[in-house]
Structure 1
Amino acid sequence: MMSDAIRAVILGIIEGVTEFLPVSSTGHLLLAQRFFGLGDGSFWQSFAVLIQLGAILAIVVIYFAKLWNIALGMFSNPEDRRFVIGVLVAFLPAAVIGALAGGLIKSYLFNPWVVCFSLIVGGAILLWVDQLDHKPHEYDATKFPLPMYLAIGFAQCLAMIPGVSRSGASIVAAMLLGAEKRAAAEFSFFLAIPTMVGAFAYDLYKNRGEMTSDHLGVIAIGFVVSFVTAIIVVKTFLSYVTRHGFTLFAWWRVIVGTLGLIALAMGR
């Protein structure tokens, strides 16, 4: 029988690989949990949220110099201050909608059928966007117009539907609004920091009574694995998407969603 530690390693790898790719980490984790027979246990649902902080820490490490300079300059440099405000503006819609409707969304939409359909539809949208004749005019994720940051923030809210993909929604929105592919991807990374830290803090507080010493050990394993995996994936993803676009990830979504629907139809 598979131990919780091995499950934590596998789920940590899935989280690290999928968090910043436009393929939906939440969707993949929900499907993996069903495959492992973890059901709707509240601990494993919380585990999926809590280990996301490991992937977010990877972004902080990779962009530490840039983030540190922005933090130091936001009180004296107007451009740095404007970017911080832009990230907060983009984060605001998810914070408000998540606080008001998070419980309802988890109750009604967190099921594998929704995940599979969302993966397929999202894959089709990615294929469409990747084939458009883009004429980008925004090449620096730290210098988007403020209304563009807000629009990306609203688009990110679609990812509250499992299988949509937070990074996918924000990247597609940024590209449709004129961002170059690499800049769109980088801003999705930056926006992930407050979004996922907020989700982590909320879930940890809500489920603090369930966090036994055994649970903390399992979470620590998933956290470390997702951190290491995410560092490798982010560095590879940026160079790949700049050269090749998002077609690979679109077909990844369609294939996983289709296989998931077949498995569900067969009662697996």
Structure 2
Amino acid sequence: NKEGKYVPVKSIWILWSKILVATIPAAVIGLLLDDWIDAHLYNGFVVAIMLILVGVAFIYVENRNKDMRPSVNSLAALSYKDALIIGLFQVVAAILPGTSRSGATIIGGLMIGVSRAVAAEFTFFLAIPVMFGASLLKLVKFGFSFSLLEFFILAFGMIVAFVVSIFVIRFLMSYIKKHDFKVFGWYRIVLGIIVLVFFMVRAIF
């Protein structure tokens, strides 16, 4: 692990089994409702409203937890029930564009007493099967007929995204050790208002 300590193989398998449990709800909903969501909910107004609501949720949960001690302070202490609850929060992100998968799962973790660091860490592990599954679903839907150039562009984009995500994760994990998530809440609220105003003005003119 990042501290250089040996992690037993059994612990790694247990962690990934919890990730699998957390992935199932969103995977089922995504497979069943993917086309309907694309057709009815992918629009600027839904995205803007969800940006604002999730921002408010971040601020509310942080204020609520201000004087509370988290009951889960390590990934090993995260139970399968906790993992399933976090996975159910991810369903909201799967249904409503603009929610943010990571935002929904972190809020879910904070609400059930998981520490900020563990909620963020579990969320990033959870992103691996979710993003892989979502990408595979889109590939199946639109077909695998790529030219050689398109394949290399796609592969290059995936590698760049992976490398960038590693740096972002390291920064965020360092940040949340000293700060809370309120700044992300305010950022989402401001961005949501800007997006909402933009689409309202565009609808008028």
2:136 aligned to which of 201, 207, 213: 201
Following superposition, the deviation at residue 219 of structure 1 comes to: 2.9
Following superposition, the deviation at residue 165 of structure 1 comes to: 0.8
- 1:241 paired with 2:173, answer no
Letter in 1 for 2:81: P
Following superposition, the deviation at residue 93 of structure 1 comes to: 0.6
Aligned twin of 2:88: 154
Structure 1 distance, partners of 2:91, 2:76, is: 21
% same residue: 33
Following superposition, the deviation at residue 211 of structure 1 comes to: 3.1
**Uncovered stretches (5+) of structure 1, i.e. residues with no partner:** 1-61
Matched residues, number = 199
Letter in 2 for 1:89: V
Following superposition, the deviation at residue 217 of structure 1 comes to: 4.6
TM-score (norm 2): 0.87
Letter in 2 for 1:105: I
Letter in 2 for 1:92: I
Following superposition, the deviation at residue 242 of structure 1 comes to: 1.9
1:136 aligned to which of 47, 67, 70: 70
Letter in 2 for 1:135: R
Following superposition, the deviation at residue 226 of structure 1 comes to: 2.2
Q: Indicate the SS of the match to 1:168.
A: helix
Q: Indicate the SS of the match to 2:55.
A: helix
1:263 aligned to which of 198, 201, 205: 198
Checking the alignment, whether the CA contact within 8 Å between 1:141 and 1:183 is kept in structure 2 is: yes
Checking the alignment, whether the CA contact within 8 Å between 1:171 and 1:188 is kept in structure 2 is: yes
Following superposition, the deviation at residue 228 of structure 1 comes to: 3.1
Q: Indicate the SS of the match to 1:249.
A: helix
Structure 1 distance, partners of 2:201, 2:75, is: 45
Describe the shift of the 1:266–1:225 C-alpha distance in structure 2 as closer, same or farther (beyond 3 A). Answer: farther
Higher relative contact order (CA 8 A, sep 6+): 1
1:28-70 CA-partner distances (Å, limit 9, x unpaired): xxxxxxxxxxxxxxxxxxxxxxxxxxxxxxxxxx97x89x956
Matches within 5 A, 1:64-103: 73=9, 77=10, 79-103=11-35
Structure 2 distance, partners of 1:170, 1:242, is: 18
Aligned twin of 2:117: 182
Q: Indicate the SS of the match to 2:192.
A: helix
Deviating more after overlay: 159-168 vs 215-224? 215-224
1:70-129 CA-partner distances (Å, limit 9, x unpaired): 6xx2xxx3x444322211111111111111111111111111111111101110111111
Structure 2 distance, partners of 1:173, 1:103, is: 26
Following superposition, the deviation at residue 200 of structure 1 comes to: 1.4
Q: Which stretches of structure 1, 4 residues or more, deviate above 4 A after TM superposition?
A: none
RMSD value, Cα:
2.3
Matches within 5 A, 1:4-19: none
Structure 1 distance, partners of 2:112, 2:163, is: 32
Checking the alignment, whether the CA contact within 8 Å between 1:83 and 1:143 is kept in structure 2 is: no
Letter in 1 for 2:51: L
